[in-house]
Amino acid sequence: MRLVPRFEQLAGAGRSAWSIQQEAALLRAGGREVIALTIGDPDQPAPASVVEATIAALRRGRTGYAPTLGYPELRAAIAARFAARTGQPCTAENVTVTPGAQGGLYCALQCLAGPGDEVIVPEPVYATYEGVVAASGATMVLVPLAPERQFHPDPDRIAAAVTPRTRVVWINSPHNPTGAVFTPEEIAAIAAICRRHDLWLVSDEVYEDLAFARPHLSPWSLPGMAERTVVVSSLSKSHAMPGFRLGWVIGPARLSRPLLSLLLSMTYGSPPFIQEGALAAFTVEMPEVAALREDYRRRARLMSTILAAAPNCRAIPPEGGMFVLLDIRGSGLSAQEFASALLQNHAVAVLPCDGFGPSAAGHLRISLTEPDDVLGEAGRRIVAFARALADRRA
């Protein structure tokens, strides 16, 4: 019996990005010690108050079904925090709770684009974006983010990509994989394009609390944008809670009806004990969030400083997020070849960015999700490998 062909489209080119991670897992299973810096899985613990609230909810027997769109009190708490941050009205009617930001992005695109439509995405793109767009039936149109611009968007190039079939512009800031934090001027210019052409603007803001070069700006905060902006975020990165799978979609209230229909056919709502635990994260601004941001700021500086000594390579210090990008185009190897040899020879696993799009070819994404001493050792091994390559070419 054959499978439906479209599942090949869902995997897309981004599937190759995870091959090094899988190879590292096999080595670990075989007993080899590997420093794994491939995925953005925080090593810090989740806030204790959130964990305790989740446990308490379980002990109270909160294991039944929850409202499909999320508990009203959680949706209201998410809305209140978002309104305070953006300075624009937002209520529970604008919020839908989803299984992580990834689930939120999938649901949003299912509602906003379909066969024959185009979705403009600045590239490099996070590896799952291609599959999300393909699942909607739409076509992804890539607009390069040039390394020479530190991977910041060129609004003129985005405007030039708009066609009569364009329905959505999809941005991600702080950007994954590059760490660029889009400036207020760049966000405003992209918003203006969406207003001018009557487009939706999807804003993936999962790294919003990890911006350290400049404050994160949501396009929702700009005049005339709340009616056409769909914001997706979660607690996965900001609160070190990826396993909770607690995310949300914020958009015009009329979006809640199709989202309800979609979630009824998928998850039938998020677990109630997870939602009650998450509610604790919105009652106060937690010091753990600021501490996480400072951890990644410090780790990014540490890794970038060490990698500066790698010959024929160039570290790109991030402006936010939890990754450092390393340009290895001068090494003589492709990103895949470099990452594979680094893993085999020095037991360090990093992510080749070729699967994120042409603009990322020849770059490695290095996750900062290990303590400083482990990151320092990984950085020194990368430098040693780069030196060995340089010596061989001399």
Give 204-226 pLDDT, tens digit per residue: 999 999 999 999 999 999 999 99
Q: Per the domain annotation, does 1 fall within a domain?
A: no
Q: Per the domain annotation, does 340 fall within a domain?
A: yes
Using the 8-state DSSP alphabet, how is residue 308 labeled? T
Q: Per the domain annotation, does 101 fall within a domain?
A: yes
Are 192 and 248 part of one and the same domain? yes
CB 227 within 8 A of CB 250: no
Are 139 and 211 part of one and the same domain? yes
Which of these three, 259, 282, 305, is where a domain ends? 282
Confidence of residue 17 (pLDDT cuts 50, 70, 90): low
CATH code at position 93: 3.40.640.10
CATH code at position 309: 3.90.1150.10
Are 355 and 386 part of one and the same domain? yes
State yes or no: pLDDT of 14 exceeds 60: no
Other beta carbons within 10 Å of 220: 27
* Spatial separation of the C-alpha atoms in residues 127 and 31, rounded to whole Å: 29
| pLDDT computed for residue 378 by the predictor | 97
Give 269-306 pLDDT, tens digit per residue: 999 999 999 999 998 888 999 999 999 999 999 999 99
Q: What is the 3-state secondary structure (H, E, C) of 322-390?
A: CEEEEECHHHCCCHHHHHHHHHHHHCEEEEEHHHHCHHHCCEEEEECCCCHHHHHHHHHHHHHHHHHHH
Mean pLDDT (the chain, rounded):
93
| SS3 at position 183 | coil
Give me the domain span that covers residue 15: 6-45+287-393
Which of these three, 234, 265, 282, is where a domain ends? 282
Confidence of residue 31 (pLDDT cuts 50, 70, 90): confident
Q: Per the domain annotation, does 345 fall within a domain?
A: yes
Q: Per the domain annotation, does 193 fall within a domain?
A: yes
Are 59 and 11 part of one and the same domain? no
State yes or no: pLDDT of 6 exceeds 90: no
Are 209 and 348 part of one and the same domain? no
Residue in the block written with tokens 């402006």 = 319
Are 115 and 225 part of one and the same domain? yes
pTM, entire model: 0.93
* Residues ≥6 apart with Cβ < 8 Å to 305: none
* Spatial separation of the C-alpha atoms in residues 238 and 254, rounded to whole Å: 28
Are 243 and 303 part of one and the same domain? no
Are 225 and 307 part of one and the same domain? no
Q: How many domains are contained in the chain?
A: 2
Are 141 and 264 part of one and the same domain? yes
Q: Per the domain annotation, does 384 fall within a domain?
A: yes
* Spatial separation of the C-alpha atoms in residues 384 and 144, rounded to whole Å: 32
What value does the mean pLDDT take over residues 126-135?
A: 92
| SS3 at position 191 | helix
Are 72 and 182 part of one and the same domain? yes
Are 375 and 257 part of one and the same domain? no
CB 173 within 8 A of CB 180: yes
Confidence of residue 102 (pLDDT cuts 50, 70, 90): very high
Secondary element (H or E) of residue 25: helix 19-29
Are 86 and 130 part of one and the same domain? yes
Confidence of residue 11 (pLDDT cuts 50, 70, 90): low
